[in-house]
Amino acid sequence: MPASWLSLSAEVTDALAAGRPVVALESTLIAHGLPWPANLETALEAEAAVRAGGAVPATVAVWNGTPTVGLSGEQLAHLARAAGVLKASRRDLGAAVGLSRLAATTVSATMALAHAAGVRVFATGGIGGAHRPERGARNSERGTEEQSDSALGTRYSVLGTSDFDISADLAELARTPVLVVCAGAKSILHLPRTLEILETLGVPVLGYRTAEFPAFYVASGGGPASCRVESAEEAAAVFGAHVRLGGGGAVLAQPCPAEVAVPADEFDGWLATAEREAKAGGATGAKLTPFLLARLAELSGGRTLAANRALVVANARLAAEVAVALPLSEPEA
């Protein structure tokens, strides 16, 4: 049964009561991830992709203090143009509710609210992870050396000033039994380190028809996936077994559509510029990712924006297929 403090749309309520598949969708993409009107267009395309796959879409947000699973079309349109929308991770849900805020939910917050509603599959663009240390940073006191991330052609220090800038998404994946369908972790992150943390936390990373962890809208991979699956049915089987064995969440990652994926060397040049500008402008914390994504869209002439939109819709479509393949209830271990 959904938690009593949640507000569910009538469509989502009916679907859950009837045992029909539901796919959660985040709202940070709408309020903070994409510019108008691409944000609303992408949100509507993602919902349409879920419906086409045989599931019910449930975009998640905190609506003026009420955790809401299943926004209406009017609410989506309002969120896409509203000013001062709080970007809420799991940590911020209490503040959003207690202060009656309009809040867009990140991956971690969306997972938490989806689970409270009884929704087991969630589609997004890319998960958060470990941020990259500053370029060229060295820790002379500890004598650390630089290591190469060959997947993206960039060098990072082993220890640096942003070593502890790690997304709440990773901890949420460890404890909340929701399958997150994505295109890997955002390309602005340190992907090998993100994978190491997920392994430490016991989070399976399933590659959808790939043995590599995708790198969001970058063409090359970000490291090895822990398991390769060839179909939505295999993904559902692995996730179901993981939960029955006492596990939390899992990642199902598919590569960005090849026709819009960005070459790694071009992306790294744009990112270097965006990072310098972020540092000069003091963009840190929750403001850093939106700043970098917006500048990357500008520097790439819209190519990263096109890739982002395409992968969000593709992930929504795959999430619907997995939700359909999951059994109505998990059998006892």
Give the pLDDT confidence score for residue 2 in this predicted structure.
87
Residue 320's Cα: distance from chain center in Å? 16
* Confidence band, pLDDT 50/70/90 cuts, at residue 66: very high
Asked if residues 24 and 83 have their Cβ atoms less than 8 Å apart, the reply is: no
Judge whether 152 and 47 are in contact, CB under 8 Å: no
pLDDT at 120: 98
Q: What confidence score (pLDDT) does residue 119 get?
A: 98
Given the structure tokens 């949100």, which residue do they identify? 43
**pTM, full prediction:** 0.89
- C-alpha dihedral (106, 107, 108, 111), degrees to nearest 10: 120
pLDDT of residue 149: 46
Burial annotation 262-279 (CB, 10 A radius, 16+ → b, else e): bebeebbebbeebbeebe
Name the band, by pLDDT with cuts 50, 70 and 90, for residue 164: low
Active site residue 199: no
Assign a CATH topology to domain 165-333: Indigoidine synthase fold (3.40.1790)
The DSSP call for residue 119 is -
Note the pLDDT of residue 308. 94
Kindly provide the b/e burial profile for residues 163-182, where b requires at least 16 CB atoms within 10 angstroms of the residue's own CB. bebbbbbbbbbbbbbbbbbb
The rounded distance, in Å, linking the Cα atoms of 72 and 322 is 24
Strands 7-8 and 66-69, sheet pairing: parallel
Angle CA(277)–CA(29)–CA(213) in degrees, nearest 5? 80
Residue 219's pLDDT band (cuts 50, 70, 90): confident
66-69 and 56-63: which strand pairing? antiparallel
In contact, 180 and 250? CB cutoff 8 Å: yes
Domain boundaries, the chain: 1-119, 165-333
Q: If you search the block for the tokens 């936390």, which residue do you land on?
A: 201
Beta bridge partner(s), residue 166: 130
Which is catalytic among the residues 47, 186, 275, 321?
Answer: 186
Is residue 186 flagged as an active site residue? yes
The answer to whether the CB of 236 falls within 8 A of the CB of 190 is no
Report the share of the chain in percent with pLDDT over 70: 89
Report whether 207 contacts 213 (CB < 8 A).
yes
Mean local confidence (pLDDT), 233-252: 98
Question: Helix, strand, coil % (nearest 5) of the chain?
Answer: 45, 20, 40
Q: Which CATH number fits domain 1-119: 3.40.50.1980, 1.20.20.10, 3.40.50.11900, 3.40.1790.10?
A: 3.40.1790.10
pLDDT at 124: 98
Long-range contacts of 92-101 (CB under 8 A, 24+ apart): 93/62, 93/67, 96/62, 96/65, 97/5, 97/62, 97/65, 97/66, 97/67, 98/65, 99/65, 100/64, 100/65, 101/62, 101/64, 101/65
Q: Give per-residue pLDDT as tens, 9-53.
A: 999 999 999 999 999 999 999 999 899 999 999 999 999 999 999
Q: Which of 26, 47, 172, 321 is catalytic?
A: 26
Residues in the chain: 333
pLDDT digits (tens, 9 = 90+) for 138-160: 343 344 434 444 444 443 333 34
Q: Which of 174-183, 188-197, 286-295 has the highest mean pLDDT?
A: 174-183
| Topology agreement, domain 1-119 and domain 165-333 | yes
